Structure formats: C-alpha cells, structure tokens
C-alpha cells in the first residue's frame, strides 16, 4: 500500500514504493485509490522514461520497461528521512541536523549518502555550487531516492 507517512529509506523507498520494483506492481492500487497523472519524458541522451505522479505528492520515474529508478516526494509528504529530515524544512534546519552537505547536479547530498537527495529549487539548482551559496531561509520541498553512486567523487 502506498503510504505518505512511511519513512524515506535511502536507495530503497518513499511511500512504500521500492526502487527496482516494476510499476505494474503498483498500478491497480494507484488507479483505484489515488489520483494519478502520468507522462513520458526524455533524458539528454534521448532515452525515454515514464513518470507517475500520485496525488500530486509522490513522483515515480521508470524505465520504458516499467522498472522504478527513482521515487520523489514534495512538501505534502509526511514521512521523514533518518527521523529528522522532511520536505518543507528550511536550509538552516538541514545544516543543523546533518554533518555534511554537498551539491551535485542541482541536488543536495547529505552525509555522503548517494541513495538520497534533496532537490534545490530554481534558481539555486543552476547557480549554487557550494552550500554557502544557498540561503539559510530557503525551503526545501522535494526529496528523492535513487542510485546516485555515479556522482560519488573518485578517491
């Protein structure tokens, strides 16, 4: 069951929707119990993907074969990451609650956890290269789980 109160689990799930599952496992429940909007989109390399937006709260991204590659949520979501981070929190609270924050590809990575990210809103997704460039009163509205291991700096 899709659950907007479920914990956000790095590289695993949001809303009890799991990375690596096929979207087919969720479609009956999604269409029976939720308002769902879906659309195709293309990556820069022209690879086609599908997105499913559930109750304007959870966004599920899939490959063309239905494999779930990313699950995101916005400020309507009620669950937390690591019992302390939640959508709608201020940047200052994020900094107080975590040891390390870094910006990669318009997203914030927390404590070098490359299975979880927080989207930077416009224009900071394009202009901020360092956490110090993000205003402390900025509200962070979108969190996401996916495999971001390719972003990990090489040692």
| 29 found inside a domain | yes
Residue 63's pLDDT is 96
| 6 found inside a domain | no
Tokens of 137: 């009163």
Residue 47's pLDDT is 87
Instruction: Please state, in angstroms and rounded to a whole number, the distance separating the CA atoms of residues 47 and 107.
Output: 21
| 5 found inside a domain | no
Q: Which domain holds residue 134?
A: 89-147
From first to last of its 155 residues, what are the pLDDT tens digits of the chain?
899 999 999 999 999 999 999 999 999 999 999 999 999 999 888 889 999 999 999 999 999 999 999 999 999 999 999 999 999 999 999 999 999 999 999 999 999 999 999 999 999 888 878 899 999 999 999 999 999 999 988 87
3-class secondary structure, 154: coil
Regarding whether 68 and 17 lie in a shared domain, the answer is yes
Regarding whether 49 and 96 lie in a shared domain, the answer is no
Regarding whether 18 and 68 lie in a shared domain, the answer is yes
Instruction: Please state, in angstroms and rounded to a whole number, the distance separating the CA atoms of residues 38 and 142.
Output: 18
State how many domains the chain has: 2
pTM reported for the whole predicted model: 0.93
Determine the longest span between alpha carbons in the chain, in angstroms. Answer: 48
| 4 found inside a domain | no
Regarding whether 121 and 69 lie in a shared domain, the answer is no
| 132 found inside a domain | yes
Residue 129's pLDDT is 84
| 82 found inside a domain | no
| 44 found inside a domain | yes
């Amino acid at each position: 069951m899709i659950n907007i109160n479920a914990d956000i689990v790095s590289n695993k799930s949001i809303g009890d929707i799991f990375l690596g599952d096929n979207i087919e496992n969720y479609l009956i429940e999604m269409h029976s119990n939720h308002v769902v909007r879906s659309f195709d989109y293309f990556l820069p390399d022209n690879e086609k993907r599908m997105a499913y937006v559930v109750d304007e709260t959870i966004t599920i991204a899939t490959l063309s074969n239905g494999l779930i590659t990313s699950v995101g949520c916005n400020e309507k979501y009620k669950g937390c990451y690591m019992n302390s981070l939640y959508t709608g929190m201020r940047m200052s609270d994020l900094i107080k609650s975590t040891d390390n924050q870094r910006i990669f590809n318009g997203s914030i990575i927390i404590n070098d956890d490359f299975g979880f990210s927080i989207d930077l809103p416009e224009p900071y997704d394009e202009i901020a290269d360092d956490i110090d460039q993000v205003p402390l009163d900025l509200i962070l509205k979108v969190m996401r789980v996916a495999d971001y291991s390719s972003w990990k700096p090489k040692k």
